[in-house]
Amino acid sequence: MYLLATTIVRLTDIGVDCGYITGYSIEVLVAGSQGQFEQAGLCVPQQTDDQGDLVAEAGKAIVDRLHVSLVDEGEDSLYEACDADSSQWETVFAGFLCEDGDQGFYQEISQTADCCSRDVLLIHDISVKPEYQSRGLEMAVAERIIETFGSGCDLVVYNYGGQTNELEALIPIGFRPGPIQGHAFLNLNHQHPKVQQDGFCKFVASPGDDTEVQAWFWCLHCEHIWLGSPGGVEQCPRAKRGECDGSPIDALEVGKGKALPLQHWPPISCWNEGDKLPAYTNGAPNASA
């Protein structure tokens, strides 16, 4: 699999109208032999690439990089740079970058930065054709986008637009729902996504040597939250101390299945282990609890 990226860079003075944000249009291509496609149960493409391999378009992605360092050097503000580009960047600014924003998210990212650059990568969309879904391509594409176009960035924002299946696909590599609905985030000062190939055109999450992938869990019995291993069997820590009667079946991984609706909960970036969150009512959190 490889990515074919296209971008336009105008040779004009850098300002709010040009230069602060670089956009990329990306094609996701899968190359291999006829036997590899057939063995994987995929349609055999008719086109070939420069190497003589059969090649198929498996999906597309749209990505922007906000050059915060360039904004800092100029006369414009971060808000002006985002506002001049698009309503999507205006939304990202309000939820993630505004110093007076909800729950101090911007300060949280800035305080953990280990370099002077605070550039931001915005993944507008990763779309995978139905034939190639459920193969981990979304994770692989996101990882390669971040490693290729996100070097020097502190924050990655993914606009999943309320499509919960798109969020679920990226949770194994560290993305979490952000302070604004429909947007997930990854703090690159805490974690870099790692993906490994598990067969032809198939990928799985792989924690790095120095990174432990964790997920939030919620106890259906006592409503407290804690961090654990994604996809694993968990039990409420309070139950282990005899303070809760919950069993492993009561431990729901946030972002999967029943524990997916988050719109009535505080932003996940502000959660702390041991917090108690509202109970469910008809499959969704009860905001008044």
Same domain, 116 and 227: no
Q: Is the pLDDT of residue 286 over 50?
A: no
Query: How far is residue 222's CA from residue 245's CA, in Å, rounded to a whole number?
Result: 8
Q: How far is C-alpha 3 from the chain's CA centre?
A: 18
33-37, 89-93, 177-181: least confidently modelled range: 177-181
Q: How far from chain centre, in Å, is Cα 23?
A: 18
Task: For residue range 1-47, list pLDDT tens digits in order.
Answer: 888 899 877 666 676 677 788 999 999 999 999 999 999 999 999 99
Question: Which of 205, 239, 260 is a domain's end point?
Answer: 205
Provide mean pLDDT across the span 114-137.
Answer: 84
For residue range 145-170, list pLDDT tens digits in order: 999 998 888 889 999 886 777 888 88
- What is the CA angle 57-148-60, rounded to 5? 25
Report which of residues 22 and 178 the model is more confident about. Answer: 22
Are 88 and 173 members of one domain? yes
| Rounded Cα–Cα distance for residues 219 and 276 (Å) | 9
Query: What would the mean pLDDT of 246-253 be, rounded to a whole number?
Result: 80
pTM of the entire structure? 0.70
User: Is 284 strand, coil or helix?
Assistant: strand
pLDDT of residue 270: 60
CA 19 centroid distance within chain: 25
What pLDDT is stored for residue 259 in this prediction? Answer: 45
Domain range for residue 267? 215-285
155 vs 179, residue with greater confidence = 155
How would residue 58 be classed by pLDDT, with cut points 50, 70 and 90?
very high
The letter for the amino acid at 251 is A
Q: Which of 152, 177, 205 is the last residue of a domain?
A: 205
What is the Cα–Cα distance from 273 to 218, expressed in whole angstroms?
10
Q: Is the pLDDT of residue 288 over 70?
A: no
CATH code assigned at 23: 3.40.630
User: Of 264, 171, 151, 167, which Cα lies nearest the Cα of 216?
Assistant: 171
Q: How many domains is the chain partitioned into structurally? A: 2
* CA distance readout (Å), 14 to 29, 80, 154, 195: 33, 13, 22, 36
Q: What does DSSP assign to residue 43?
A: P
Q: Note whether 222 and 199 are same-domain residues.
A: no
Confidence (pLDDT) at 214: 67
Mean pLDDT rounded to a whole number for the chain: 79
Domain boundary among 205, 225, 251: 205
Residue 42: inside a domain: yes
Strand segments, DSSP code E, in the chain are 2-6, 21-32, 54-66, 119-128, 153-159, 176-177, 183-187, 195-197, 203-205, 215-219, 225-228, 251-253, 280-281, 284-285
* 202, 132 contact by CB (below 8 A): no
Regarding whether 187 and 87 lie in a shared domain, the answer is yes
Lowest-confidence range among 182-191, 237-246, 251-260, 278-287?
278-287
Please check whether residues 269 and 143 belong to one and the same domain. no
Which range among 38-42, 226-230, 256-260 shows the weakest confidence by mean pLDDT? 256-260
pLDDT tens digits, one per residue of 64-87: 999 887 887 777 888 888 888 888
Q: In this structure, are strands 195-197 and 183-187 parallel, antiparallel, or unpaired?
A: unpaired
14 in the Ramachandran plot: left (φ > 0), alpha (ψ -120 to 50) or beta? beta
Average pLDDT over residues 164-179: 82
Q: Are residues 17 and 78 in the same domain?
A: yes
Whether 210 maps to a domain, the answer reads no
> 197 and 220: one domain?
no
Whether 222 and 190 map to the same domain: the answer is no
Q: Is the pLDDT of residue 119 over 70?
A: yes
